[in-house]
Structure 1
Amino acid sequence: MELFFLYFFLGFLLFILLSLQIVFYKNKSIFFSANLPPGRTGWPLLGETLEFLSTGWRGHPEKFVYDRMVKYSQECFKTNILGEPVAIVCGATGNKFLFSNENKLVTAWWPDSVNKVFPTSLQTNSKEEAKKMRKLLPQFLKAEALQRYIGIMDTFAQRHFANEWENQKEICVFPLAKRYTFWLACRLFLSVEDPDHIARFAGPFHLLAAGIISIPIDFPGTPFNKAIKAAELIRKELKLIIKQRKIDLAEKKATPTQDILSHMLTITNENGQNMTEMDIADKILGLLIGGHDTASVVITFIVKYLAEFPHIYNAVYKEQMEIAKSKAPGELLKWEDIQKMKYSWNVACEVMRLTPPQQGAFREAMTEFTYAGFTIPKGWKLYWSAYSTHRDPKYFVDPEKFDPTRFEGNGPAPYTYVPFGGGPRMCPGKEYARLEILAFMHNVVKRFRWEKLLANEKIIVDPFPVPTKGLPIRLIPHNIDE
Structure 2
Amino acid sequence: MVLLILVVVAAKYMDMDLRLLLPYLLPPAVLFISLYLVFSAYRRKPSTAKLPPGKTGWPVIGETWDFVRAGRSGTPEKFVNDRMSKYSTDVFRTSLLGDNLAMFCGATGNKFLFSSENKYVITWWPRPIQRILSFPEEIVSSSKDDSTILRRFLPEILRPEALKHYIPVMDSMAKDHLEADWSQNKQVRVLPLSKKYTFALACRLFMNIKDHAHVRRLENNFTLVSDGLVSVPVNFPGTTYHRAVKGGRIIREELLAIMMQRKTELASENYEEGAEGTDLLTRMLLASDENGRPLNERDIAYKVLGLLVAGHDTTSSAITMVIYYLAEYPHIYQKVLQEQKEIAMSKAPGELLNWEDVQKMNYSWSVACEVLRVSPPVSGTFREVIADISFAGFTIPKGWKAYWSVYSTHKNPKYFPDPERFDPSRFEGKGPAPYTFVPFGGGPFMCAGKEYARLEILVFLHNLVNRFKWEKVIPNEKIMYTSFAMPVKGLPVLLQPLQN
TM-score by length of 2: 0.87
> Do residues 430 (structure 1) and 450 (structure 2) align?
yes
Q: Give the whole-Å Cα distance in 1 for the aligned partners of 2:387 and 2:209.
A: 45
Question: Aligned with 1:137: secondary structure?
Answer: helix
Name 1:65's counterpart in structure 2: 80
Aligned to 1:48: 63
Superposed counterparts of 1:313-324, under 5 Å: 313-324=333-344
Residue 344 (structure 1) shift: 0.6
User: 2:104–2:403: 8 Å Cα contact kept in structure 1?
Assistant: yes
- Measured after TM superposition, the shift of residue 123 of structure 1 is 6.3
CA contact (8 A) 1:294 1:357 kept: yes
Flag the 1:275–1:124 CA change in 2: closer, same or farther, 3 A: farther
Q: Equivalent residue for 1:248? A: 265
Please give the alpha-carbon distance, in whole angstroms, between the structure 2 residues aligned to 1:335 and 1:282. Answer: 32
Question: Using the alignment, how far apart are the partners of 2:441 and 2:452 within structure 1?
Answer: 15
How far the C-alpha of 1:348 sits from its partner, in A, is 0.6
User: How far 1:380 sits from its partner (Å)?
Assistant: 1.5
The answer to whether the 8 A contact 2:127-2:141 is kept is: no
Summarize the alignment of residues 83-482 of structure 1 with structure 2, pairs less than 5 Å apart.
Answer: 83-119=98-134, 122=139, 125-251=142-268, 252-255=270-273, 257-480=277-500
Distance, in Å, in 1 between the alignment partners of 2:326 and 2:168 is 25
TM-aligned CA distance change 1:44 to 1:233, over 3 Å: same
Distance 1:55 1:360 in 2: 14
Q: Is the 8 A contact 1:386 1:417 kept in 2?
A: yes
Q: Larger Cα Rg: Structure 1 or Structure 2?
A: 2
| Structure 1 residue matching 2:466: 3-state secondary structure | helix
Query: Aligned partners of 2:191, 2:214: CA distance in 1, in Å?
Result: 22
CA contact (8 A) 2:123 2:142 kept: no
Native 8 Å contact 2:124 2:142 kept in 1: no
**What is the CA–CA distance in structure 2 between the aligned matches of 1:230 and 1:193, rounded to whole Å?**
21
Q: 1:370: how far off?
A: 1.8
Number of residue equivalences: 457
Secondary structure of the residue aligned to 1:436 is helix
User: What's the CA shift for 1:276?
Assistant: 2.8
Give the equivalent residue in structure 1 for 2:20.
Answer: none
> Runs in 1 of length 4+ with deviation above 6 angstroms?
none
- Residue 291 of structure 1 aligns with an amino acid whose one-letter code is G
- Report the AA paired with residue 198 of structure 1: V
Which residue of structure 1 aligns with residue 89 of structure 2?
A: 74
Deviation string, structure 1 residues 430-452 (Cα, Å, up to 9, x no partner) = 11111111110000000011000
**For the aligned residues, what is the CA RMSD?**
2.2
Conserved in 1, the CA contact under 8 Å of 2:281 and 2:304?
yes
Distance 1:105 1:373 in 2: 16
Structure 2: distance between partners of 1:338 and 1:146: 11
The question of whether the paired residues in 1 share the 8 Å contact of 2:383 and 2:401 is answered with yes
SS class of match (1:363): strand
User: Quick check: 1:218–1:225 contact (8 Å CA) kept in 2?
Assistant: yes
How big is the shift at 1:327? 0.3
Give the distance between the partners of 1:123 and 1:266, measured in 2 at CA: 25
Q: Which amino acid aligns with 1:377?
A: P
Match of 1:249, SS state, is helix
SS at match of 2:139: helix
Partner of 2:34: none
CA distance in 1, matches of 2:342, 2:79: 44
* In structure 2, distance between residues paired with 1:456 and 1:347: 20
Matched-pair contact (CA < 8 Å) for 1:157–1:440: yes
Matches of 1:123 and 1:426 in 2, distance apart?
Answer: 23
Equivalent residue number for residue 21 of structure 2? none
Q: Indicate conservation of the 8 Å contact 1:245/1:254, yes or no.
A: no
Structure 2 counterpart of 1:6: none
Per the TM alignment, residue 240 of structure 1 is displaced from its structure 2 partner at its CA by 2.2
CA deviations over 1:137-179 (Å, ceiling 9, x no partner)? 1110112211011000000000000001102100000000000
Moved more, 412-421 or 66-75: 66-75
For the Cα contact (< 8 Å) 2:125–2:142, is it kept in 1? no
Deviates more, 1:115-124 or 1:367-376: 115-124
2:292 counterpart SS class = coil
1:36 counterpart = 2:56 = no
**TM-score, length basis structure 1:** 0.90
CA, structure 1 residues 108+123, in 2 after alignment: closer, same or farther (shift >3 Å)?
closer
2:433 counterpart SS class: coil
Aligned to 2:409, what secondary structure does the other structure show? helix
Equivalent pair of 1:112/1:216 in contact (CA under 8 Å): no
